[in-house]
Amino acid sequence: MPMLLVADDSELDRMVIVELLKKEPIDWLVEQVASAEEAVKLMKEIAFDVVITDVLMEGMSGLELLNHVHKQPRKVPVIVVSGQDTRDAAIAALQSGAANYIPKSGLPALLGETVRQVLDAASAEKNYQRLIATADDMRFHFKLNNDLGLIRPLFGLIQEMAIGMGVLTLEDCTRLGIAIDEAIVNAICHGNLELSQDDMSNVRRHLHAKCPIEIVEQRRKQAPYNSRFVYVACLITHEGVKVSVRDDGSGFALSSVDQERQGRGVTLIQNLVDKATFNEMGNEITLLKRAVAPEHPPLNKAS
């Protein structure tokens, strides 16, 4: 049973977060504290699976708590919660190692889904580790038929290989998994299925609930959407991991990306990996996560 820790010095905000988590149809336990200092103390007693913290708190800040967590032998994914006027702080947290972030205005719609996403990405399997450790490189090419249920097994496989080869730490794999998740969801839902923003809000609420999403199931069976695919290419070497995600949609002009609609997803991806680039058409994104201690120059060529 997952153990969650909520740290926020606002009693009202803390209550909102805890109540939202209790409403989720997930069997998890939630502990709450009013400061980062209390969180540090409690984490010495309980092995939490996810920490949810406000960015700005009296005393030790959420960023300082994040830095403390990342100095511990057991790496716990941290989700930061930021106010509308603290987006820069959220980006700083992602760049400092946070697994995800949520604006406070988006808590009702995003909290449960984000926690499930982080838990999924953190649960990389470790089977076949001895065999995988002998590999010099791994190359994968996938052709996905807009099935959201294939995303977790796909990034789980990549995580397993990257960890087994000693290329990435579990913490880095969690961050890479979330970036891949975001990229493929965007490719399927925005690129191929052309879902509206209202439809996407519904998808986001149920994406990791492991149940069919009606609008997605309907659209992926209809023409012309049923003839579109998502193509994922992955190259894993001892230099790092490179993942390209391309859809059959019409793409978008890079200069006219609607930041209000796509800002959070793009911000996540760009700050969870070392490099994220779009092609000129706007229907392909390439993610690069460099090895923990690279012995060679960074990858400069896709598979």
pLDDT, tens digit (0-9, with 9 covering 90-100), for 181-228? 999 999 999 999 999 888 888 888 887 777 788 899 999 999 999 999
Number of domains making up the chain:
2
Please report whether residue 295 resides in a domain. Answer: no
The more confidently predicted of residues 165 and 93 is: 165
Whether the pLDDT of residue 126 is over 60: the answer is no
Whether the pLDDT of residue 34 is over 80: the answer is yes
Provide the angle, in degrees to the nearest 10, between the axes of the packed helices 62-70 and 36-43. Answer: 20
Q: Are residues 147 and 240 in the same domain?
A: yes
Q: Are residues 107 and 186 in the same domain?
A: no
* CA–CA dist 235, 258 (Å, integer): 30
Whether the pLDDT of residue 60 is over 90: the answer is yes
Token pair of 171 as six digits: 């913490």
Q: Are residues 249 and 159 in the same domain?
A: yes
Q: Are residues 96 and 144 in the same domain?
A: no
Whether the pLDDT of residue 303 is over 60: the answer is no
Token pair of 222 as six digits: 């209809």
Would you call 36 helix, strand, or coil by DSSP?
A: helix
* Residue ranges making up the domain that contains 77: 3-122
- Lowest-confidence region among 115-119, 128-132, 144-148, 191-195: 128-132
93 pLDDT band, cuts 50/70/90, is confident
Q: Are residues 98 and 162 in the same domain?
A: no
Please give the pLDDT value at position 125.
Answer: 42
Q: Are residues 77 and 179 in the same domain?
A: no
Q: Are residues 66 and 134 in the same domain?
A: no
* CA–CA dist 269, 251 (Å, integer): 17
pLDDT, tens digit (0-9, with 9 covering 90-100), for 245-267? 999 998 876 655 544 445 678 88
